[in-house]
Structure 1
Amino acid sequence: MITTAVPSARPYPAVVDVAIIGSGPAGATYARILSELSPQASIAIFEAGPTISDPPGSHVKNIASVQDREVAQRRSEGKVSAVPSGGNLAEYARDVARPVRPGTFLLDDGWQQPGETGLPGLAFSSNVGGMAAHWTGACPRPGGSERIAFLPNMDELLSEAERLLSVSSEALAGAPLADLVRSRLSAALDDGRAHDRRVQPMPLAVRRTDDGRFIWSGADVVFGDETRNNPRARLFDESVVVRVLTDGDEVSGVRVRDAKSGDEHEIAARYVVVAADALRGPQLLFASGIRPEALGRYLNDQPQIVHAVRLTGAMDDVPAASSSDTTITAQSGVSWVPFTDEQPFHGQVMQLDASPVPISGDVIPGSIVGLGWFCAKDLQASDRVVFSENTTDAYGLPAMNIHYTFTERDEQTLSAARQSVVAAARSLGEPLGDQPLTFPAGASLHYQGTLRMGTSNDGTAVCDPAGQVWDVRGLFVAGNGVIPTPTACNPTLTGVALAVAGARQIAESINSTSTEK
């Protein structure tokens, strides 16, 4: 059964078939697919952060107690919390220049270089389940140039990702006022769009129980019973992988530091999967002396513009909110304005139970609407994370320095997105505030590109279409960092889909070897 290691024992294995670094959705995908297709394989999953929920990797929204939820969020904040212990969670995002969300922590240094935009909003989570313990659950499919043209089976991979994440477009589709929101958005924005790119309910990684509760998907849903009941799969929390070990041009294992004792252990492995995020994944490869030309390059975030509006003409008999401490409830919906190549941004429209700014009069749940427009970044190799040869971070790994700038095309996209979100807000009712707010770069938390896949080892890609790192047999990378295209849609679904392809390749190799024996 998949459980965290006993703190006093820490029985790390001497050898495994597959070592997975990172317990977020991509790492969980490898564990799940291998458990399904190669149950004979031994698997060890290593996570630098602590277990904050039961089952491990579940979403903090599923924690009923507000106090317990806050504790879980604080335990996700790495070595240093951005807010003093005991501070009010509502105060996290008070700094507009460098906003911090509960469960995340900022990069202390190196986030901006002189004369560059930088990523002031760059943030991480450190916990079993990764950022999926805190995310909004949005899982739209990519379209147009967001799609990866050299993957002929991308739709099948996306469908499998939807299965693993338990994605539904119906869970909140029937929320009060949601139809009114979508009909007004459609009238304002749908003209000229293909049918599948019109305004529609947002696909969400959420399911509704028979008694009306919502269960938000975290990595625990991706792990599934198939992994939890697999006696050959083990999850080790507070275990920092400090180096991927190689023997010539082949992977041979990992070196792990027990964060509880400080002891280090070498574990042999036939396959190693680096499924950390788009910053800490390349960091580990760099620390391991694995440094392909594209490593850390093509870093991209999704520039984000937000606006809010009070829906006019809403009915007065809408039911009361089901909860006062959850942003999205049974009485509020999420709608989607898909990306198109002509309008290279994606809209996430969230109905709220309360207003984000003080307003007069009673608020009908669902009548305050937040609009978030995410833009596709103009990719450039110079946008990158550079790692230090002599300075380390709080985990003892090479310190990061971010190089990041907006191009003229980026500025044009941002300008068009501002016009679009204003038009959308006006179609719904009374905008709250004169102008939309442009979030600082990095605030989307949708980092990609630093481990990008490609079709050839030409210096512009770190791995092949299955996620195997060029020139290092048995080493795979996974997560949003492998996405090679400029995207505006939430990237988790795509990241999981790409992990499915890699996990299948490892399973095929393991099964082939077992058959030969």
Structure 2
Amino acid sequence: MSNLPPHEIHAKTGINQFDVFIAGSGPIGATYARLLTRHGYNVIMTEIGDQETRVPASHKKNEIEYQKDIDRFVRVIQGALSTVSVPPASTVIPQLDPSAWRPEDPSQMTLLNGRNPNQQTYDNLPAESVTRCVGGMSTHWTCATPEFFKENGERPKIFPGDETLDDDEWKLLYEAARNLIGVSSTEFDQSIRHNTVLHTLQKAFPNRGIKPLPLACHRLAKGSPYVRWHAADNVYYDLFDQSLFGKVNSEGIARGKFFLLTNTRCTKLHTSNPNATKDVNVGVAEVMDLLADRFTGSDQHKQVSFAINAKVYVVAAGAVATPQILANSDFGGLEGQQGKALLPALGVGITEQPLAFCQIILNQHIVDDLKNLNGRPQWWKDAVEAHRRAHPKDPLWIPFQDPEPQVNIPVTKDFPWHAQIHRDAFSYGEAGPRADSRVVVDLRFFARQAREPKNKLTFDKKITDVYGMPQPTFKYLPTTQYADEAGKMMKDMTEVASALGGYLPGSEPQFMAPGLALHLGGTVRLGHGSEINESVANFNSQVWNFKNLYVAGNGTIPTAFAANPTLTSIALALRATHHIVKVLKADPNNLKPAVPEEKLEATPKEYLKWLTDPTNPDFPDHHDLQKEHKEVIVKAEPSHT
């Protein structure tokens, strides 16, 4: 147990022990906070980054400047991503001025500062990155929210012995997750580009189930060129409004209190029974005040590390930082520790997604056909005619602000990869001035990789990252099981691309750097009782042999998956919150550890009724979440005279 002083949040709030501590403020951590405060529990959350948006945890792409020029958002994404593991680089510069410093020992001619000397180049995930801010990666994600495909094993089996029960559980969880984050497939129905790409592909590939891409967003008004992209703020909803503490919900439960500490690193978890291997209980979370840490070593030095006390602890800090915190707590995942740790499977058997990409310019015949307005819906005709009147010399019959295409070729048994055909911003793929963006289409195809125990994420306390945490190191090579799939996926992408147009020079079909999909999985994988040695937690997300520790996020997904994982991670988090509510309600002072023989229960429909019944007063209304920002108001500081 730690001897650290209690964090000032305890004294400020008068809460000596919070019900739940959450590390990480992304959409998954937000799911835990929203559901647990709804049931009256007091929640404290820490975020290593700062609040970077006016509305906490909102999507940065909602700014007008990026909706008018999507290519500019590429820079925002690049600036938000921090690469996880960078191998040392040579300092040998042949053209260097002879008077400049250089190492005299050839064995030391490598750049170590900010680099990972443990990382080999050949087995790295060089593009795997993290985002540190309130809302995490949801502040710049694509908002793509497909469900996992059952038939090829992509969707995990919560109840492997009962297919009907498993189907019913996922149906409930997915429906609730969609409504919580606000998913729609109709927001681009009145887009010329979207309908052109969608119908072209449906005609060319009639048996592929091609459909609009499900997205967490809503259009601001019918016919508007602007959408509101959803992020973690849609999950938090009004949770940051402290005037609503104690608000009674539709079930007659008074809302608990919620506090978020930014610039606060969750360093490690301390157990109250350090030598225990079963019935392990987390006593406190050790956190660091990063703002106070800036004065370390100066005459303004302050205490920087504190303890936060809670009954239950949830680590939802992302697929890299979640196992990093657990490794720093000496639970597992450290170099040479596997097999001798509380969690021998921590970071073992990681998965990622091979990503193929290209950009095309729409075919001449497709573009020429847009001049034929016969049979087009009235909104289409009105938009084109208004554009022609305003810009008669424009060779394209597409309004300048016509919404982009957002099309999905879903995973199927015969084509087990996920495809997004759209025009969106990633950390790459900027079209720039090379072509008119209205006829540029991006194709992104995501394959899957099998679990392989040799593929792992380990940590080293002797080497730290820039935030002072154990340095992550990847040991990852593509698996042979799905190697052929990736090759077939590339061939499929070229066939889809050829149905749409010709390649944009510089964006011909290519596999992107491993990790660039940013869909790392399996770092804290879930499993069943028979899989206790190959998993970190059970399907309640409760860590094996721990009484009060839960893990969350994409790292919990144990299967090989090709589709975007966020919706599935939210679904698993919804299930986990019910388990926490149940055990806290039963006996908060006598929590039971996760053990193999524990029988899993289905999530009661009544528990999620407010997320599945649109007539419920608490059903989320994503259209009225944010107030428009029309003026800047600075509140004067109170006078001390």
Short-chain TM bin:
0.7 to 0.9
Counterpart Cα distance in 1 of 2:557 and 2:565: 8
CA contact (8 A) 2:450 2:559 kept: no
Partner of 2:292, secondary structure, is coil
CA contact (8 A) 1:168 1:203 kept: yes
CA contact (8 A) 1:352 1:368 kept: no
Computing the radius of gyration from Cα coordinates, the structure with the larger value is: 2
Partner of 1:101, secondary structure, is helix
CA contact (8 A) 1:303 1:414 kept: yes
Partner of 2:34, secondary structure, is helix
Task: Please list, as runs of the form range in 1=range in 2, the aligned pairs for 1:227-306 lying within 5 A after superposition.
Answer: 228=241, 230-231=244-245, 232-248=257-273, 249-262=280-293, 263-291=304-332, 292-306=343-357
Counterpart Cα distance in 1 of 2:501 and 2:64: 34
Q: 2:414 aligns with which of 328, 336, 342?
A: 342
Pairwise CA distance, 1:105: 1.5
CA contact (8 A) 1:43 1:233 kept: yes
CA contact (8 A) 2:85 2:126 kept: no
Asked if 1:380 is matched to 2:421, the reply is no
TM-score, with normalisation over the residues of structure 2? 0.68
What one-letter code is carried by the residue in structure 1 that aligns with 2:266?
V
Change (3 A) 1:449 1:10: farther
Change (3 A) 1:8 1:472: closer
Pairwise CA distance, 1:364: 6.9
Q: 1:493 aligns with which of 542, 567, 576?
A: 567
Which residue in the other structure is 2:514 paired with? 441
Which residue in the other structure is 1:158 paired with? 174
Q: How many residues matched?
A: 469
Counterpart Cα distance in 1 of 2:204 and 2:10: 61
User: Unpaired segments of 5 or more residues in structure 2?
Assistant: 1-7, 88-115, 160-165, 246-256, 274-279, 294-303, 333-342, 372-383, 385-396, 591-641
CA contact (8 A) 1:174 1:333 kept: no
Change (3 A) 1:475 1:352: closer
Asked if 1:180 is matched to 2:196, the reply is yes
Change (3 A) 1:382 1:54: same
TM-score, with normalisation over the residues of structure 1? 0.84
Partner of 1:499, secondary structure, is helix
CA contact (8 A) 1:104 1:125 kept: yes
What one-letter code is carried by the residue in structure 1 that aligns with 2:135?
G
Which residue in the other structure is 2:336 paired with? none
Which residue in the other structure is 1:18 paired with? 20
- Could you give the per-residue CA deviations for residues 328-370 of structure 1, whole angstroms, max 9, x where no partner exists? xx5212100111232221101103699826656xx372x3111
Q: 2:227 aligns with which of 193, 200, 214?
A: 214
Counterpart Cα distance in 2 of 1:355 and 1:234: 38
Identity value in percent: 28
User: Unpaired segments of 5 or more residues in structure 1?
Assistant: 1-6, 71-87, 94-99, 323-329
Calculate the aligned-residue CA RMSD, in Å.
3.0
Asked if 1:104 is matched to 2:110, the reply is no
Which residue in the other structure is 2:361 paired with? 310
Asked if 1:137 is matched to 2:143, the reply is yes
Which residue in the other structure is 2:42 paired with? 42
Question: Which range moved further: 245-254 or 443-452?
Answer: 245-254
What one-letter code is carried by the residue in structure 1 that aligns with 2:128?
L
What one-letter code is carried by the residue in structure 2 that aligns with 1:304?
L
Counterpart Cα distance in 2 of 1:383 and 1:177: 41
Task: Please list, as runs of the form range in 1=range in 2, the aligned pairs for 1:419-434 lying within 5 A after superposition.
Answer: 419-433=491-505
- Could you give the per-residue CA deviations for residues 385-417 of structure 1, whole angstroms, max 9, x where no partner exists? 111132221222111111010123343122111
Pairwise CA distance, 1:9: 12
Pairwise CA distance, 1:321: 2.8
What one-letter code is carried by the residue in structure 1 that aligns with 2:83?
L
CA contact (8 A) 1:252 1:271 kept: no
More strand by share: 1
Task: Please list, as runs of the form range in 1=range in 2, the aligned pairs for 1:86-125 lying within 5 A after superposition.
Answer: 101-110=78-87, 113-114=119-120, 116-125=122-131
Q: 1:453 aligns with which of 504, 526, 529?
A: 526
Pairwise CA distance, 1:242: 0.5
Change (3 A) 1:10 1:298: farther
- Could you give the per-residue CA deviations for residues 28-68 of structure 1, whole angstroms, max 9, x where no partner exists? 000011122x12x110010000001122101111234669x
Pairwise CA distance, 1:493: 0.6
Asked if 1:413 is matched to 2:480, the reply is no
Partner of 2:78, secondary structure, is coil
